[in-house]
Amino acid sequence: MDKKTEPMETLSDIRSMMERSVRFISLNGLSGVFAGLFALVGAAAAYMFLKLNHTGFRYYDYAFLPDGSSNPSFYVFIFTDAFLVLIASLFVAILLSGRKAKKKGLKLWDSSTKRLLINMFIPLCIGGIFCIILIYHSLVGFVAPATLIFYGLALINASKYTLNDIRYLGLAEAGIGLLAAIWIGYGLFFWAVGFGVLHIVYGIVMYYKYER
C-alpha cells in the first residue's frame, strides 16, 4: 500500500463511521417502489368505491349525506384504506431496510434511527391534528392537500438524518400538495401522484443510485 494514500483512506474510513453514527443510511430504494404501488392500489380502491369518473367529481361530496350530516361509511372506508396502505408500506420498509442493514453490518434501530423518526413524526403529528380540525369544520376537500404538504415537510425535516435525496422527494410532495390545494376537486388524483407515482420514481432512482 502506498504510504501517501494511507492517511486519505484513514480519513475516508473515519468519515464513513461518523456518517453512520449520525445518519440512517439503511433505507432501501425498493421499499419506496412498494409504497408507491400500495398507494396506487389504495387510490384505485377509493376510485371504485366512490364511483368517481373522468369529469372530476369531487370525492369529498361523499363525506356528507343529503341532509348535510356526515357520512360514516365514507370515513370508515377512507381511514381503513389509508391505514392498510400505511401498514403494508411500513412492513415492507422495515423488512427491506432490515435486510440492507444486516448486509452492511449495521443496526436497524440505533440513535440515528431515533433522530430520523422523531424529526419525521413531529410534522406528521401536527399535520394529522390539523387534518382532524379540517374535518371538524367540514373542510374535507383540504385534507388531501394538507396530508401531502405536511408529509413533504416531514421528509424535508428528516432528510438531515438520512440520505439527502429525501429532501427532493419532500419538496416534490409539498409542491403536489400546493397544487392539490388549488384543484381540490382532484384530491384523489394528487394523492395517487404524490404518494404513488413520486414514491415509485424516487425508489427506482435510489435503487440504481445506491444499491446496484
User: Which grid cell sits at 31?
Assistant: 421499499
Taking only the tens place, the pLDDT of each residue in 21-47 is: 445 445 677 888 999 999 999 999 988
Taking only the tens place, the pLDDT of each residue in 109-145 is: 677 778 888 888 999 999 999 999 998 898 888 999 9
Residue 86: domain span: 28-211
- Asked, for residue 21, whether it belongs to a domain, the answer is no
- Asked, for residue 122, whether it belongs to a domain, the answer is yes
- What whole-number distance in Å separates Cα of residue 185 and Cα of residue 144? 10
Q: Tell me the three state secondary structure of residue 46.
A: helix
- Asked, for residue 11, whether it belongs to a domain, the answer is no
Rg of the chain on CA atoms, in Å: 20
- Asked, for residue 42, whether it belongs to a domain, the answer is yes
- Asked, for residue 5, whether it belongs to a domain, the answer is no
- Asked, for residue 116, whether it belongs to a domain, the answer is yes
Q: State how many domains the chain has.
A: 1
- Asked, for residue 184, whether it belongs to a domain, the answer is yes
- Asked, for residue 3, whether it belongs to a domain, the answer is no
Report which of 24, 40, 51, 42 is spatially closest to residue 160, judged by C-alpha positions. 24
pTM of the model: 0.81
- What whole-number distance in Å separates Cα of residue 74 and Cα of residue 176? 24
* Cβ-proximal residues to 205 (8 Å cutoff; 6+ apart), any chain: 29, 165
